[in-house]
Structure 1
Amino acid sequence: MELKRTLLAGVFGLVALNILTAFGAVGLLVRMSPVIEKILSENVASLEAVERMFEALALVDPVADVGASRDSFDRALRAAWANVTEPEERPALTRIEQKKVGAFAGDAEARREVVLALETLSAINRRAMRAADDEAKRLGQAGAWFAVILALLSLVASTFLARRLTRKLLEPLDQLYQVLESFRTGERHRRCTSARVPPEFRAIFDSVNGLLDEQGQPRKLI
């Protein structure tokens, strides 16, 4: 029973460590996914809106009708308002709202202020993306160290189990083989030593020693 408990404890311990490693990896991915999704769905969308507003301003033709460019600008501005994720974005968007009419009317100062506000908006979102990227990297590094620690624990557990199996299973089996092989080759006095072996092997050794004692006794002539 002691040997059985040792084997089962070691096997279940290794299985538990492997399961913990698997769940740790899943948990890391679950935590990283929202960070990556935030970068894609929020900050990237805001940057795209800024790019569309820059494009609309760049394509304004003072001679032609500016309605199409103005409509494109307004759609991008609404998208930016709908996707505000940082408090600093609101003042920049408010400034754009205030100066957009003048910018499309040919007011150079208004146009300059809109451009500066768009650059500010772009910088805010890029900074937020870098922060989210740093958070994702931090989670990745933490997950990597977690996996390393679990791997080391698994190595220690495997080494411990291997030593226990060697001492409680392989060494007794080797001793049993050596005793039987010695008896077969003519060494009649060698016996199994029951010290420091599991109870299961102690009973086996006692039985083997008894059989060897019987076989080693001189046969009576009839």
Structure 2
Amino acid sequence: MGKFSSTRSLAWFVILTYLAMALGSVFAFIRMAPAIEVIIDHNGRSQHASERMLAALAESSADGLAGENKEAFLNALSIAENNITEEGETAVIAAIKDLMQADPVQNRTALIEAVLNLSEINREAMLRADEAARHLGAAGAWGVVALSLVGFGLGMILLRRIDTDLILPLEQIHTVFRAHLSGDRHLRCAGRHLPRPIRSLFGDINTYLDETMRIDRKPEEE
């Protein structure tokens, strides 16, 4: 049973390899989805708030923020302040608030630069998160490729084992019986390094053919 057991074990290895490949693919995509969601939910929200602040500054007059523009600016600043996710955002938001309290008109250029800095921090964070998601996806893809190659190699070994341990012996049995029916009573099954069940089957077939030939000879001897 040794060779049949090893062939059966090899078949299980092939099955488990492809199962691991399927589960690995699902795991990689599951890990990528939250990363992309974080990009959109956190940094995207702060990025949008920065754009709203810049829009309010662009629409304001030379006298500074007032009315709806000021309200829109402060609302966007509040959103950014409540959505701090990156290092450096706290200091930039504090600087924006200080500039607003001091003199928004005189500090207009510095205020725009601070808002742009906040936008840049979130943009870079989004790029880093996107790159991390891409690396995770690439690692998952290469992992699937590696498992596929392992599965392919094991599959080729399994096919060779099946061919050597099962297909070729069956073909030999077929050849021996066809020869026996055609009148060649001396051809027998033979083979080295075969699984024990196949060797046992060969022995039984050869014994049967020997017994058949002995029975056929009895009338001739009588």
Q: Normalising by the residue count of structure 2, what TM-score does the alignment of the two structures yield? A: 0.90
Q: Which has the higher contact order (CA 8 A, sep 6+)?
A: 2
Choose the corresponding residue for 1:189, options 170, 176, 186.
Answer: 186
Choose the corresponding residue for 1:204, options 197, 201, 204.
Answer: 201
Q: Over aligned residues, Cα RMSD in angstroms?
A: 2.1
- Structure 2 distance, partners of 1:44, 1:65, is 25
- Structure 1 distance, partners of 2:79, 2:45, is 8
Residue identity opposite 2:89 in structure 1: E
Q: State the match for 2:23 in structure 1.
A: 23
Shift of 1:40: 0.7
CA displacement, residues 111-167 of structure 1 (integer Å, 9 cap, x when unaligned): 111101011111111111111111111111111111111001101110111111111
CA displacement, residues 12-56 of structure 1 (integer Å, 9 cap, x when unaligned): 212211221122112212322232122111110011000111111
Distance 1:185 1:58, change over 3 A: same
Further displaced range: 134-143 or 84-93: 84-93
Shift of 1:196: 2.2
Q: State the match for 2:82 in structure 1.
A: 82
Distance 1:65 1:137, change over 3 A: closer
CA displacement, residues 72-123 of structure 1 (integer Å, 9 cap, x when unaligned): 11110010011111221122211211122532xxx2x311111010111111
SS of equivalent to 2:13? helix
Maintained 8 Å contact 1:179/1:192:
yes
Q: State the match for 1:94 in structure 2.
A: 94
Distance 1:100 1:174, change over 3 A: same
1:115 partnered with 2:112: yes
Residue identity opposite 2:36 in structure 1: I
Distance 1:44 1:65, change over 3 A: closer
Maintained 8 Å contact 1:28/1:143:
yes
Maintained 8 Å contact 1:194/1:201:
no
SS of equivalent to 2:187? coil
Maintained 8 Å contact 2:99/2:107:
yes
Residue identity opposite 1:220 in structure 2: P
1:32 partnered with 2:32: yes
Give unpaired runs (5+ residues) of structure 1. Answer: none
SS of equivalent to 2:107? helix
Q: State the match for 1:152 in structure 2.
A: 149
- Structure 1 distance, partners of 2:165, 2:4, is 10
Q: State the match for 1:220 in structure 2.
A: 219
- Structure 1 distance, partners of 2:145, 2:157, is 18
Maintained 8 Å contact 1:50/1:80:
yes
Q: Normalising by the residue count of structure 1, what TM-score does the alignment of the two structures yield? A: 0.90
Give unpaired runs (5+ residues) of structure 2. Answer: none
Counting matched residue pairs gives 218
Distance 1:183 1:41, change over 3 A: same
Residue identity opposite 1:142 in structure 2: A
